[in-house]
Chains A and B, each alone.
Chain A
Amino acid sequence: MVTTVPSQAATVAYDVAAGTPDPELPMVTVADLGILRAVDVTGDGVQVTITPTYSGCPAMREIGADITRRLARAGFDRVTVRTQLAPAWTTDWITADGRRKLAAAGIAPPAAAPRGDGPVPLTLGLPAPARCPRCGSASTRRTAEFSATACKSLYRCGECGEPFEAVKPL
């Protein structure tokens, strides 16, 4: 067990949990993505609260296991991971740092997510073009709404000709 005073332990535990890489996008951490909602240290151990990105995201299980394992290595042997569903995760929670890391890895970060009350409007046209993470051009075209994961779309840049992935605003 970590024997530091509680406030220090809480800071250490948060930093260790926050540094956990996302299994699908290992260039960003769970804190960068906004998945990590809270880390609480009590006499009963560490309670980590995470929120799923998508209802069916198979990485949630891995993320919980990875956080537990990293905390165990840091000396926290009593860790519980709990899920928090509300409010629902949005790509707006991806931090500025996370956006920079995504772009540096060739993945266009998401635009602001559409929000509104009442019936959700239907979209029949193409979305606003994502900016090419390689050359910065806005002259890009979406080639597929989905990519290897639900959270990304496929684009091609009209300027440099390179295909790239973009995180969908959600």
Chain B
Amino acid sequence: MSTDHDNPYDLLGDDHDDGHRWAFGTGFTDPLQGIDTRVPDGLDAAALARQCLALGDDALIYSHRLQQWVTRMPELEEETAIANIALDLLGQARMLLARAGAILGQTEDQLAFFRAEKDFRNMSLAEHADADFAELAGRLLIFSAWRLALFTELSAAPDPVLAAIAAKGVNELTYHRDYAAQWVVRLGDGTEESHARMQRALATLWPLAGELFQPDPDAAGLTGRASADRGSFDALIDLVLAAAGLDRPEAAAPPAASYAGVGGRSGRDGVHTEAMGYILAELQSVARAHPGATW
């Protein structure tokens, strides 16, 4: 075994090409380094960029929301679980924003930290603030079940970069969905209190699921489908709810006023809930206060 690596922290002092490393995880480089990001002939580059931005924004904003739970989870084991899931989504966001950025001529940091709220394309579900652990579990189930179905289809997308990012994401979203589903079952099939709170969480979250299946012409150009399949999504959710002894809220329930969007426009169109402004303030303030800073 090599002896020059017994203490990995010794390496931090070494000068590297960028000279910006002061801790592990710093000195970020392009997550798509060395990957051919030219758009294949015949593909609508602008539509591909919009799609990557939308999927990247979902992951970025959702990851931020999950990070806010860190240090507040009921058990240490769930703390590491949520931190790891948030990290996976952040990794997906970085690659997707870098993929969009390669087309738009911007870096992932410019897209994450210097865009205005109206230019973010994430779904309302991603920015929702979980009121309790039941909402966290329910929201993660809805989000990861939908995203897993979508990424499974995007694994065959005509853009090889997006297809590779999606195929990689499928492996991660699989255990995100399992983790969330297992908690929904434990809470639904748990005590009277946990059951009631899980049922209440579903009632709050279910109206947000509608937006996930709005037809999207950009997606249609990439997968041949305008949205993930609602029928198989509902069937999967029903499977979990049956094991949990929970009822699926009425599909016809009117969405809460704050999630109805404005004039038929919502997250994908840059129309967000009030929560989004607070998220961006926290997410972007350091980068905006110190333009050009590296980390």
- Chain A residues with a Cβ under 8 A of chain B: 19-21, 23, 26-27, 49, 52, 54-62, 64-66, 68-70, 73, 80-90, 119-120, 122-124, 143-150, 154, 168, 170
By secondary structure, the B interface counts as helix
> Within 8 Å CB of A73, what residues of B?
4
Q: Are B168 and A85 neighbours in the complex by a CB distance under 8 Å? A: yes
> Within 8 Å CB of A149, what residues of B?
84
By secondary structure, the A interface counts as loop
Q: How far is the CA of A21 from the CA of B95 in the complex (A)?
A: 25
Q: Which 3 residue pairs are nearest across A and B when measured between Cβ atoms? A: A82-B34, A56-B91, A55-B91
- Chain B residues with a Cβ under 8 A of chain A: 1-2, 4-5, 8, 11, 14, 16-17, 21, 24-25, 27-29, 31-35, 77, 80-81, 84, 87-92, 94-95, 148-149, 152, 160-161, 163-165, 167-172, 174-175, 177-179, 181-182, 185, 232, 236, 239-240, 243
Q: Are A146 and B81 neighbours in the complex by a CB distance under 8 Å? A: yes
Given contacts A56-B87, A120-B148, contact A69 B2 (CB under 8 A): no
The distance from the CB of A92 to the nearest CB of chain B, in whole angstroms, is 12
> Within 8 Å CB of A170, what residues of B?
171
Given contacts A56-B90, A84-B35, A150-B87, contact A122 B14 (CB under 8 A): no
Given contacts A55-B168, A83-B32, A85-B168, contact A120 B152 (CB under 8 A): yes
> Within 8 Å CB of B149, what residues of A?
119
Could you pull out 17 A-B pairs where Cβ atoms are within 8 angstroms?
A: A52-B91, A54-B172, A55-B95, A55-B168, A57-B91, A62-B8, A64-B33, A65-B11, A65-B21, A65-B27, A85-B35, A86-B163, A120-B148, A122-B240, A143-B77, A154-B77, A168-B175
